[in-house]
Chain A
């Protein structure tokens, strides 16, 4: 085979290879998810959310029932590919935990749990390569850790415990005070 033809054929193979891989990936991330897959992970999600927003002098994510919010939004308000990315992320986390510690995540110690979530948070820094991230998120959905954290934040800050104790909630302000001194330990307003 002459060189030119060789290069052409290798190139052709490579193209065929990536194309078929992409199609496979495309199909798999757009498959319909089984809701039970997520509902069964309720306790796991509660612990993960609690790692992200733990109980301190104010309630944490678990007390605010953020796990239910995550499941509701995932099942009803999230496109299929992001759902799959999320389910795959849970599976990856469980596999990693099993390989690393030989037990299920819920059986791990607090420090082991933290290490697992740290591992999952790697490679998903939210703001370097803004444009690349945007494109990647658009095509394949947000990385698991970022999606989990986003849902945890939304769920917590809009929950009754989160809004009224973790943050400052002003149900009916009556007046608008445009410029007032920031108080010591001032919490952010829960709503805009």
Chain B
């Protein structure tokens, strides 16, 4: 490609960030705040806060077929349609337009737009602890994390203080407390279960979820209005997303250039400098190819896409993918499992109800293998997430008999109290759970399709059995009836916590990134999305991505100032 000097200058920035989801939005904001001219590249369309939330204020009757997807939806989007509904379909890709290859069943849910999946995320914010950072080192799975909790502690606080997290301090070693806004409140059945759990087991407790929903006004946003329609985008700015928070903050600095409709196909390697010089982009509106240049590149395309992009960036220095001297790139893919749990009905508290729709549930922090427990047949652990509610019409309809006035009366009054809960479980890093490229099959932009080869293994399945067992037991002890322990056996990807394809580590021979998320083999490339994760822990991971991103941005900025990049 020939570019005149003038154009080259026009296309040169201090920093390039690839992807505008949770971690990319954070990278862009941090770099802009440090005074760096930053180009934020997003492959999808723009989504402006509030303006582009077309369904946010709709009523149930505004959807002519309710929240049912059409047969055509299910045919064109066999994977995405299992997650979306007519209320939020516009925040998911079309599978037909963005195919990928499942070597084994794997649900890859994607949101290609400015804000990415930060618009539809679960908003749970949990810190990892040294139980997690030391896990690989302790039992020998994967490689050792190059960081410990103390390295990330201040950055967790920094991220929480910026986004606003509501939650309760519990003083647990395995789940460190954070900077919390007033917690949301547990309802009476959840308190009942919590009291029973605390009474029966000193190592367990039930607490309100820690969520990026604001219980007070914060940074010109919120508070949360308890509508529980977060996935449509919040017109009140009641929860954190790139769109409501980091991107406006980056824009306000005057240093951000946001470029949607820009698929990055390659990171360009400068043989002389032995580092990245920039990126190649396809403009999806014009189909023209551009190159952009920068001193540093942050890759935040999301775990699977980031691996694909790096594997696709080959040069004589990197014949097997950018920065892939270790051969680990694309490998060690992990996703939490969240298929196993239990459901129970309680006959008490019939005179109690609630008002409003709290946008979160409860959490029972990890209680397994806090020290290695020889009596258990699996490693690592899980936390339990769930919510209590009274049965409403959608839950009762199936089990009321007949039709007519009695049927209607029963249908329209609150049913018994119930709790649904499931275990979010750690997944070990297995080398052969991997992402690779199929160069014989291309998408409509001529890019190779991604292949995903992933399965849960024995350790995860044994953990699921234990989850069913302990959940059922906690219900029994709390006097629940009709306890149903279940395992949905959902395939990988279903929890939407993909991670691990470009892991951090001490050793360039066995890892892609160092302790600052900096590429071992190209010092000006940083990866701070889920692909950097060395192990999965069992906590919802987004808060950790935010903390790692803020930390890496600071490091990159300092290195640049010192002239080391």
A79→B72 CA distance, assembly (Å): 10
Which chain A residue lies CB-closest to B355?
A: A177
A78→B353 CA distance, assembly (Å): 35
Give the chain B neighbours of A153 by CB distance below 8 A.
393, 397, 411
**Do the beta carbons of A172 and B352 come within 8 Å of each other?**
no
Give the chain A neighbours of B358 by CB distance below 8 A.
176, 178
Whether A171 sits at the interface, judged by CB under 8 Å, is yes
Give the chain B neighbours of A189 by CB distance below 8 A.
357, 392, 414
Q: Which of B186, B226, B350, B355 contacts A180 (CB 8 A)?
A: B355
Which chain B residue lies CB-closest to A159?
A: B61
Which chain B residue lies CB-closest to A160?
A: B61
* CB of B369 to closest CB in A, whole Å: 32
The digit string for A116-132, where 1 denotes a CB below 8 A from any CB of B, is 01000100011100000
Query: From residue 57 to 83 of chain B, which have CB atoms closer than 8 A to chain A?
Result: 59-61, 63-66, 68-72
Whether B389 sits at the interface, judged by CB under 8 Å, is yes
Whether A154 sits at the interface, judged by CB under 8 Å, is yes
Which chain A residue lies CB-closest to B227?
A: A172
Of B65, B357, B411, the most chain A CB neighbours within 10 A belong to B65
Whether A89 sits at the interface, judged by CB under 8 Å, is no
Q: Which of B60, B71, B226, B414 contacts A175 (CB 8 A)?
A: B226
Q: Which of A72, A127, A182, A191 contacts B357 (CB 8 A)?
A: A191
**Do the beta carbons of B187 and A56 come within 8 Å of each other?**
no
Whether B412 sits at the interface, judged by CB under 8 Å, is yes
**Do the beta carbons of B399 and A171 come within 8 Å of each other?**
no
Give the chain B neighbours of A186 by CB distance below 8 A.
353, 413-414
Q: Which of B59, B187, B407, B412 contacts A178 (CB 8 A)?
A: B187
**Do the beta carbons of A179 and B354 come within 8 Å of each other?**
yes
Give the chain A neighbours of B185 by CB distance below 8 A.
176, 178
Of A149, A160, A178, the most chain B CB neighbours within 10 A belong to A178
**Do the beta carbons of A179 and B226 come within 8 Å of each other?**
no
Whether A73 sits at the interface, judged by CB under 8 Å, is yes
Query: From residue 126 to 176 of chain A, which have CB atoms closer than 8 A to chain B?
Result: 126-127, 149-150, 153-155, 157-160, 163, 166-167, 169-176
**Do the beta carbons of B407 and A53 come within 8 Å of each other?**
yes
* CB of A93 to closest CB in B, whole Å: 13
Whether B403 sits at the interface, judged by CB under 8 Å, is yes
**Do the beta carbons of B351 and A181 come within 8 Å of each other?**
yes
Whether A96 sits at the interface, judged by CB under 8 Å, is no
A77→B67 CA distance, assembly (Å): 10
Q: Which of A53, A56, A77, A181 contacts B353 (CB 8 A)?
A: A181
Whether B509 sits at the interface, judged by CB under 8 Å, is no
Q: Which of A51, A79, A166, A173 contacts B403 (CB 8 A)?
A: A51
Give the chain B neighbours of A166 by CB distance below 8 A.
408, 412
Query: From residue 27 to 67 of chain A, which have CB atoms closer than 8 A to chain B?
Result: 51-54, 56, 58, 60
Whether B401 sits at the interface, judged by CB under 8 Å, is yes
Q: With A171-B59, A188-B392 as given contacts, are A178 and B186 in contact (CB-CB < 8 Å)? A: yes
Whether A190 sits at the interface, judged by CB under 8 Å, is yes
**Do the beta carbons of B71 and A78 come within 8 Å of each other?**
yes
* CB of B217 to closest CB in A, whole Å: 13
A179→B393 CA distance, assembly (Å): 20
Whether A103 sits at the interface, judged by CB under 8 Å, is no
Whether A192 sits at the interface, judged by CB under 8 Å, is yes
Give the chain B neighbours of A191 by CB distance below 8 A.
60, 228, 357
Whether B402 sits at the interface, judged by CB under 8 Å, is yes
Give the chain B neighbours of A180 by CB distance below 8 A.
352-355
Q: Which of B191, B226, B403 contacts A52 (CB 8 A)?
A: B403
Which chain A residue lies CB-closest to B224?
A: A176
**Do the beta carbons of B66 and A187 come within 8 Å of each other?**
no
A171→B9 CA distance, assembly (Å): 52
* CB of B376 to closest CB in A, whole Å: 31
**Do the beta carbons of A176 and B71 come within 8 Å of each other?**
no
Whether B405 sits at the interface, judged by CB under 8 Å, is yes
**Do the beta carbons of B412 and A176 come within 8 Å of each other?**
no
Give the chain B neighbours of A2 by CB distance below 8 A.
none
**Do the beta carbons of B403 and A149 come within 8 Å of each other?**
yes
A178→B411 CA distance, assembly (Å): 22
A174→B228 CA distance, assembly (Å): 11
**Do the beta carbons of B68 and A176 come within 8 Å of each other?**
no
Whether B356 sits at the interface, judged by CB under 8 Å, is yes
Give the chain A neighbours of B226 by CB distance below 8 A.
173-176
Give the chain B neighbours of A181 by CB distance below 8 A.
351-353
* CB of B556 to closest CB in A, whole Å: 41
* CB of B48 to closest CB in A, whole Å: 22
* CB of B213 to closest CB in A, whole Å: 10
Whether B23 sits at the interface, judged by CB under 8 Å, is no
**Do the beta carbons of A179 and B408 come within 8 Å of each other?**
no
Whether B140 sits at the interface, judged by CB under 8 Å, is no
Task: Name 21 A/B residue pairs within 8 A (Cβ), A-sorted.
Answer: A53-B403, A73-B68, A76-B68, A76-B71, A79-B71, A150-B397, A153-B397, A157-B393, A169-B59, A173-B355, A173-B357, A174-B225, A174-B226, A176-B358, A179-B188, A179-B191, A179-B352, A182-B351, A186-B414, A189-B392, A190-B393
Q: A153-B411, A154-B394 are in contact. List 12 more A-B contacts (CB 8 A).
A: A73-B66, A114-B404, A150-B397, A154-B66, A157-B393, A159-B61, A163-B61, A170-B357, A176-B184, A176-B358, A177-B354, A190-B393
